[in-house]
Amino acid sequence: PLGLGMGSGGCGRWEEEKKEDGVKWMQLEHRGPYFVPLYEPLPEDVQFYYDGKPLKLSLATEEIATFYAKMLHHEYTTKEIFQNNFFHDWRKGMTSEEQEIIKDLDKCDFREIHKYFVEQNEARKALPKEEKQKLKEEADKIQEEYGYCILDGHREKIANFKTEPPGLFRGRGEHPKMGMLKKRIMPEDVTINCSRDSKIPEPPEGHKWKEVRFDNTVTWLASWTENINNSLKYIMLNPSSKLKGEKDWQKYEVARRLKDVVHEIRAQYRRDWKSKEIKKRQRAVALYFIDKLALRAGNEKEEGETADTVGCCSLRVEHIQLHPQLDGQEHVVEFDFLGKDSIRYYNKVSVEKPVFRNLQLFMKNKDPTDDLFDHLTTTFLNKHLQHLMDGLTAKVFRTYNASITLQEQLKALTNPEDNVAGKLLSYNRANRAVAILCNHQRSIPKTFAKSMQVLQEKIDTKKKQVEEAQEEVKKAEDEYEDTKDAKAEANVEKKKKLLKRLEEQLAKLNIQATDKEENKQIALGTSKLNYLDPRISVAWCKKFGIPIERIYNKTQREKFAWAIDMAGEDFEF
């Protein structure tokens, strides 16, 4: 139930009758997941070689070999841990005869198989238009059949209606399980969730479901456990669906509520820096980091199960260095650790003196691998946050600080006199401030240098055109000086108009180049989709006459339909 004020603007579909607590739907009907096609054996003339000799593999062994072959020129297959995990899992799938022969990955030659898949790929790209159209129609047919469900009388789109194909697990960063075999999902692994009175989906012929449930307190349609991390995977509704839209909207409403109490919370953790209990002090310093630096909370994890990544509560002594003075600033904390998805967080921050003093205390007589906040767990922290405000977690701070930063930056950076390109540059700069706050990085795209070069060539060409147009204007003006006739005067105007248009085009290209350069290592998308209240962007577009499609693409506009309906130009987060 959403007991929330609507902001400005009406919003029909988001406001239908409310259900009782915990109930997410009354009716749910769907076709179940679409299972990816079974393995097709390689042609006879494509061979695997062991120790220089061709070796015919059994079907199961061959399938796993193709997973590795497809990745032959990938960075992953150069990593020892990937190779070892793959070889271990591959041998498990072999026949006993194959296990006797294949004992050394270095003697395996996958090159012919790799070449075959590269050629298949090229052939697909080179298909004539009609063939491509036919394939698209087949995919659309599957989408029509499996990609929608009926939820409380609405036909809603499903996000991921296909099961994941088998393959080799990649993981992010130095994941200890990379290279392990992701098994094929069978109907026998799948739990179906739908309403009791609906047409229950039929499993593929000769198979049965693991279980059929009628649980209307959850929003997933099907689930299974994947074999690498033993985690549950779900088939969910598309972000554009009413259910997801409501959830998204609620998330930002919780963050907006934080705005009213954040001053009290800050005053409270400042008081706790001086607490007699070390536990409270640690909680207060951690909360300061979560608030000021938008750090993630950092849950406790099983060792050896995942990459060694940390968040605020799981920081170790080795992850920070204290500098009483650095680069002309006092009380500087230097952070260096791997955060979520093994993305490095590196930052030097000047903190308040009591925080610095407390950190010195927390680090005293500890080894580098000891926990910095040894008296603190995320559970203890989140309990405290829940006590401060209903629904408050560490993530809400990230959402709140991200959204408030965007709103403030847009106010500071947008010049109403700018043209659309100039305003969009300001928007991206505001978005970038948020991405930097949240540490959303990306590696420089492989195509960056090439596309930058192409853009630079365009700029050079345009500069030449501008110079030529300036010459033309001067010529026309001289001619008018000599003759003073109306035709020559009209010609001056015409040439000036052309010059103005070319100058505008050049300015636009220059803005593009600046934007591209500034964004090469920053991922703007993550914060835009997950941390920024879309109503801030919608209101900004409406206020400055920017078409919304310049900010959000079609998929994003569907996801944020609720915000586009709801926010007027005067919306304040």
Domain shared by 65 and 185, yes or no: yes
> Which of the two residues, 233 and 437, has the higher pLDDT score?
233
379 and 462: one domain?
A: no
pLDDT tens, position by position, 134-156: 999 999 999 999 999 999 988 99
Give the per-residue pLDDT at 6: 38
33 and 144 within one domain: yes
Report how far apart, in Å, the C-alpha atoms of 325 and of each of 152, 153, 330, 336, 354 are. 62, 64, 5, 18, 15
pLDDT of residue 304: 59
The answer for residues whose C-beta is within 8 angstroms of residue 107's C-beta and 6 or more apart is 50, 51
Task: Give pLDDT, residue 14.
Answer: 53
CATH of the domain at 53: 2.170.11.10
Q: Could you give the dihedral angle defined by the CA atoms of residues 38, 44, 48 and 54, in that order, rounded to the nearest 10 degrees?
A: 150
Q: For residue 461, is it within any domain?
A: yes
306 in the same domain as 216 = no
DSSP-derived secondary structure letter, 223:
E
Three-state helix/strand/coil letters over 420-465: HHHHHHHHHHHHHHHHHHCCCECCCCCCHHHHHHHHHHHHHHHHHH
Q: What total of structural domains would you count in the chain?
A: 3
Strand partners, 233: 224
Pairing of strands 191-193, 211-213: parallel
Q: State whether 338 and 434 are in the same domain.
A: no
Can you say whether the dihedral through the CA atoms of 519, 520, 522, 525 is positive or negative? Answer: positive
Confidence of residue 1 (pLDDT cuts 50, 70, 90): very low
Looking at the structure, do residues 320 and 391 belong to the same domain, yes or no? Answer: yes
Residues 201, 119 contacting (CB under 8 angstroms): no
Are the C-beta atoms of residues 377 and 300 closer than 8 Å to each other? yes
pLDDT digits (tens, 9 = 90+) for 478-503: 888 888 888 888 888 898 999 999 99
- Contact, 440 vs 526, CB < 8 A? yes
Residues 26-45, mean pLDDT to the nearest whole number: 94
Q: In what order do the strands lie in the sheet with 28-29?
A: 28-29, 148-151, 154-157
Q: Say if 417 falls within a structural domain.
A: yes
Non-local CB neighbours of 513 within 8 Å, separated by 6+ positions: 452, 455, 456, 459
Residue 342 has pLDDT above 60, yes or no: yes
pLDDT at 71: 94
Residue 16 pLDDT: 56
Q: What average pLDDT score do residues 426-448 get?
A: 82
10 has pLDDT over 60: no
**Is 478 domain-assigned?**
yes
Q: What's the average model confidence in pLDDT over 130-136? A: 93
**Predicted pLDDT at 5:** 37
In a domain? residue 101: yes
CATH of the domain at 537: 1.10.132.10
Evaluate the CA torsion angle 264, 267, 270, 274 in order and state its sign. Answer: negative
CA separation for the pair 265, 271 (Å, rounded) = 10
| Same domain assignment for residues 189 and 274 | no
Measured between alpha carbons, how far is 145 from 128 in angstroms, rounded to an integer?
Answer: 26
φ and ψ of 348, to 5 deg: -115, 120
Compute φ and ψ for 333, nearest 5 degrees. Answer: -105, 125
Q: Are 209 and 190 in contact (CB under 8 A)?
A: yes
Which residues does the annotation mark as catalytic?
Answer: 531
Question: Residue 519 to residues 80, 382, 425, 522, 553: CA-CA distances in angstroms?
Answer: 33, 34, 11, 5, 18
| 453 shares a domain with 382 | no
pLDDT of residue 15: 55
Domain with 174 in it: 24-238
Angle subtended by helix axes 278-293 and 378-388, to nearest 10: 70
Average pLDDT estimate for 430-453: 82
Any domain includes 8: no
Mean pLDDT over the full length of the chain: 89
The better pLDDT of the pair 529, 284 is held by 284
pLDDT at position 565: 87
This prediction's pTM: 0.74
- Are residues 91 and 200 located together in one domain of the fold? yes
Domain end (from 238, 265, 285): 238
Structure tokens at 567: 């926010």
Give yes or no: residues 363 and 473 share one domain.
Answer: no
Q: Is the pLDDT of residue 3 over 90?
A: no
- 478 versus 285: which is more confidently predicted? 285
Burial 9-43 (b: 16+ CB within 10 A, else e): eebeebeeeeeeeeebbebbbbbbbbbeeeeeebe
136 Cβ contact list (under 8 Å, min separation 6): none
Q: Which phi and psi angles does 413 have, rounded to 5°?
A: -95, -25
Clarify whether residues 167 and 250 are in a common domain: no
Residue 3 lies in a domain: no
Is residue 573 assigned to a domain? no
Predicted local distance difference test score (pLDDT) of residue 341: 78
pLDDT digits (tens, 9 = 90+) for 176-221: 899 999 999 999 999 999 999 899 999 999 999 999 999 999 999 9
Cα 289 to Cα 315: distance, rounded to the nearest angstrom: 11
Type of residue found at 360: Q
The residue with tokens 């399938």 is 63
Model confidence at 240: pLDDT above 90 = no
Is the confidence at residue 345, as pLDDT, over 90?
no
Residues 222 and 259 in one domain: no
Q: How far is CA 191 from CA 26, 28, 158, 483, in A?
A: 19, 15, 16, 87
Question: How many CB atoms neighbour CB 392 within 10 A?
Answer: 22
Domain boundary among 345, 378, 395: 395
Whether the per-residue pLDDT at 4 is higher than 50: the answer is no
- 3-state SS class at 40: coil
Closest CA to 434 of 395, 393, 404, 392: 404
CATH number reported for the structural domain that contains residue 335 in this entry: 3.90.15.10
**Per-residue confidence (pLDDT) for residue 86, from 0 to 100:** 97
Write the pLDDT tens digit of every residue in 76-90. Answer: 999 999 999 999 999
Domain for residue 359, yes or no? yes
Domain boundary among 365, 395, 425: 395
Residues 88-122: pLDDT tens digits?
A: 999 999 999 999 999 999 999 999 999 999 999 99
According to DSSP, residue 368 is labeled: T
